Amino acid sequence: MAQTITQKILAAHCGRESVEPGELINAGTDLVLGNDITAPIAIREFEKIGAPTVFDKNKVALVPDHSTPNKDIKSAELTKILREFARKHGIVNYFEVGRMGVEHTLIPDEGLVLPGDLVIGADSHTCTYGALGAFSSGVGSTDMAAAMALGEVWLKVPEAIKFVYSGKLREWVSGKDLILYTIGRIGVDGALYCSMEFTGETISAITMADRFTMCNMAIEAGGKNGIVEPDDKTLEYVNPRAQREYKVYRSDPDAVYRDVVEIDCSRLEPQVAFPHLPENTKPVSEAVDVRIDQAVIGSCTNGRIEDLRSAAKVIRGRKVHPDVRLLVIPATQEIFLQAIKEGLTEIFVEAGGAVSTPTCGPCLGGHMGVLAEGERSIATTNRNFVGRMGHVKSEVYLSNPAVAAASAVLGRIGSPEELDGVDK
């Protein structure tokens, strides 16, 4: 029976040859993930269950990253819950200040997710790991609690939508633009509880960083998971990090999809998502009249070294507009160090930007860049809901790192092409 890559992974994890969309299954998990916002709730529920310990101390990961370093007493107490739970149960993969990173960048970089895995996390952007050819999806804290105890998750097999991208990307167009354009086309509920399978010549050509970005934002279209079939680029990323065996799955040629969406990327401009939904996308050329107060480059969506390089290429030798605050947040300590070694940090600081230790911080309006009433920010983050980054009367515009950097210089949303003499 023909199966998609997602069906094959789910079937393998519940001991079946095949599964069909709509079926309810119990599936084994390769990794259970939580952070400082969601895991404390899961830990309380875990303790109510009465389980003596976690199902596997190597297959639970706890990453305090949302309010890290702790911004106040409450966040310190939440992190303390994680720290003490990790110590009590001998959890190997606990990452805190100085060793931590934004979870959805740190976890794959640490080799904790591999092709063919089934991963759940009490964070909606757990779908990021589909870039490796894994099934990964966000769940509630109570589901995380049960999974920590049993090593299983209960879920419904999703229908699948295939997105076929063709054409060579123009300069300054990235995976962020592909997924923003896609969400703009189908809407924030266009893939509700579906597997979003990204394929085509354009996907083959883009970097792993761009694939992580695309899968990260599958949830913004309502997707259950985003996924890309592994290829040589995937294995080049995975093999130096892998510390166990893995299995590569691919969709059958005659697999059944709910829909097939074809997208010609050759004429695509960088995209900007206007408030207050990721589906409110426009080409950057139609967004140039929007004044900004802040630019944020980072997050689990665009805090990788490739993202910082793109932003630095735009901003090198320039100054941040006097009315704009530029915040640059590498997603992990390793990326932070690499940015220092390559001189990227120096470029940002000399331009008048601030570079932070890894944290989710401003993405969720937690700290390190909260907006006041009436302020606008362009950000490489994944959501721009009402009040997402601060005051309910503030506004967030989503873009790729190059556009965010150019906007920081211009004082308004704009394209790198507007800056004369950009080193290309």
Among 321, 292, 306, 308, which residue's Cα sits nearest to residue 384?
292
Distances (CA, A) of 369 to 77, 103, 183: 22, 19, 26
- Residues 206 and 330 occupy one common structural domain: no
- Residues 286 and 367 occupy one common structural domain: yes
3-state secondary structure of 324: coil
Among 26, 73, 38, 203, which residue's Cα sits nearest to residue 130?
203
φ/ψ of residue 3, rounded to 5: -135, 150
Among 42, 2, 7, which residue's Cα sits nearest to residue 25?
7
- Position 345 scores a pLDDT of 97
Query: How far is 389 from 249, CA to CA, in rounded Å?
Result: 38
- Residues 243 and 279 occupy one common structural domain: no
- Residues 115 and 68 occupy one common structural domain: yes
Cβ atoms of residues 406 and 278 within 8 Å = no
Instruction: Enter the tokens of residue 198.
Output: 């990204």
- Residues 258 and 281 occupy one common structural domain: no
Cβ atoms of residues 78 and 210 within 8 Å = no
Count the domains in the chain.
Answer: 2
Query: How far is 228 from 367, CA to CA, in rounded Å?
Result: 33
Query: How far is 285 from 331, CA to CA, in rounded Å?
Result: 29
Instruction: Enter the tokens of residue 147.
Output: 């999974």
In one-letter notation, the amino acid at residue 151 is G
Residue 286 covered by a domain:
yes
Q: Is the pLDDT of residue 375 over 60?
A: yes
Residue 137 covered by a domain:
yes
The proportion of the chain whose per-residue pLDDT surpasses 90, expressed as a percent, equals 94
Among 81, 90, 93, 88, which residue's Cα sits nearest to residue 119?
93
- The two beta strands, 31-35 and 281-283, are unpaired
Residue 41 covered by a domain:
yes
- Position 424 scores a pLDDT of 40
Among 127, 120, 114, which residue's Cα sits nearest to residue 223?
127
pLDDT for 185-212, tens place per residue? 999 999 999 999 999 999 999 999 999 9
- Residues 301 and 244 occupy one common structural domain: no
In one-letter notation, the amino acid at residue 177 is D
Domain boundary (215, 245, 263) is at 263
Residue 424 covered by a domain:
no
pLDDT class for 57, splitting at 50, 70, 90? very high
Instruction: Enter the tokens of residue 350.
Output: 């000399």
- Residues 241 and 363 occupy one common structural domain: no
* CATH number where 108 lies: 3.30.499.10
- Residues 314 and 353 occupy one common structural domain: yes
Q: Is the pLDDT of residue 422 over 50?
A: no
Q: Is the pLDDT of residue 364 over 90?
A: no
Q: Can you name the residues that pair with 156 across neighbouring β-strands? A: 24
pLDDT class for 1, splitting at 50, 70, 90? confident
Distances (CA, A) of 279 to 138, 272, 309, 404: 20, 10, 27, 18
Per-residue DSSP letters for 335-370? HHHHHHHTTHHHHHHHHT-EE--S--GGGGTSSSSP
Residue 316 covered by a domain:
yes
Q: Is the pLDDT of residue 284 over 80?
A: yes
Query: How far is 11 from 24, CA to CA, in rounded Å?
Result: 11
Domain boundary (263, 283, 308) is at 263
The mean pLDDT of 155-182, rounded to a whole number, is: 97
- Residues 183 and 310 occupy one common structural domain: no
Residue 136 covered by a domain:
yes
pLDDT class for 415, splitting at 50, 70, 90? very high
Domain that holds residue 9: 5-263
In one-letter notation, the amino acid at residue 7 is Q
- Residues 97 and 22 occupy one common structural domain: yes
The mean pLDDT of 242-269, rounded to a whole number, is: 96
CA of residue 221 relative to chain centroid, distance: 13
pLDDT for 381-406, tens place per residue? 999 999 999 999 999 999 999 999 99
- Position 423 scores a pLDDT of 47
Domain boundary (241, 263, 285) is at 263
- Residues 134 and 192 occupy one common structural domain: yes
Residue 379: its H or E element: strand 376-379
The mean pLDDT of 328-333, rounded to a whole number, is: 97
Query: How far is 353 from 401, CA to CA, in rounded Å?
Result: 14
- Residues written for the chain: 424
- Position 421 scores a pLDDT of 53
- Residues 369 and 221 occupy one common structural domain: no
Q: Is the pLDDT of residue 363 over 90?
A: no
Q: From the CB of residue 288, how many other CB atoms can be counted at a distance below 10 Å?
A: 14
Query: How far is 131 from 109, CA to CA, in rounded Å?
Result: 12
Instruction: Enter the tokens of residue 247.
Output: 């299995």
Among 33, 236, 13, which residue's Cα sits nearest to residue 132?
236
